[in-house]
Amino acid sequence: MRIISYNVNGLRAAFKKGFIDWLKTNPADIICLQETKATKDDIDVKQLDALGFHHHWFSAHKKGYSGVAVFSKIKPDQVITGNGHKESDDEGRVIQLDFGDIRLINAYFPSGTSGDLRQQFKYTWLDELQTWLDKLKKKHPKIILCGDYNIAHEAIDIHDPKGNKNSSGFLPEERDWMTRFLESGWIDSFRVFHKEPHRYSWWSQRFPTVRENNKGWRIDYITVTAPLKDQLVDADIYPDVKHSDHCPVYLELKH
């Protein structure tokens, strides 16, 4: 089972930048997208059908905002939109799919960059997510949680840790949450295979040379629960794929 997680920062824009041509290269069996900023009706889904994808959508109530989708060549046994938290579900942040004994969750974590209100919403969202996942793990021991977490966990995950110590996405409280999350039985799949620095999945668009100079952040993750550890085969990040200010992150596991 090959999985990609990718914040496309607007799927309609990504389509105009060659997204379908990239899908034709068969990069993964399951493509989890965040920040689609679109509904199914906004996209020419015939192109997805022609490539053999089952596609499942969960869009925000607000048009052109947030939203998640999953394109899968493996038909899921079950699809659940949302996770029961109204504010989060109104923003189209979580979609769940079952593949045999594995529950795959595709999530778009909130950003706190627009101000204190959204930062507080982010903290509340993170706490609610942890509580929900703790309960879910009892019923579904094998879970994959992929998405844009909007958190760079360690200094190795950001190009300028000192300069960003007060930046949303690298605040001590966010990083502490991520540490507690991993300690509660989750595995950062990329770091199982890659210990090296300077591996990032997002680059600011405010400065045009940031991406070519690789001044980025690693804020996109595919984490798995401990019972899946022995099934991990490979993980990577694909910075040369450019339809967005993010790039795809990848996980392969035996299933």
Active site residues: 108, 148
Dihedral sign (CA 27, 220, 110, 168): negative
CA–CA separation, 81 vs 97, rounded Å? 9
Nearest alpha carbon to residue 136 among 170, 107, 161, 159: 107
Across-strand partners of 104? 97, 144
* Length, in residues, of the chain: 255
Answer yes or no: are the C-beta atoms of 201 and 217 closer than 8 Å. yes
Backbone angles phi, psi at 121, to 5 degrees: -60, -40
Task: Give SS3 for 135.
Answer: helix
42 Cβ partners below 8 Å, 6+ apart?
11, 12
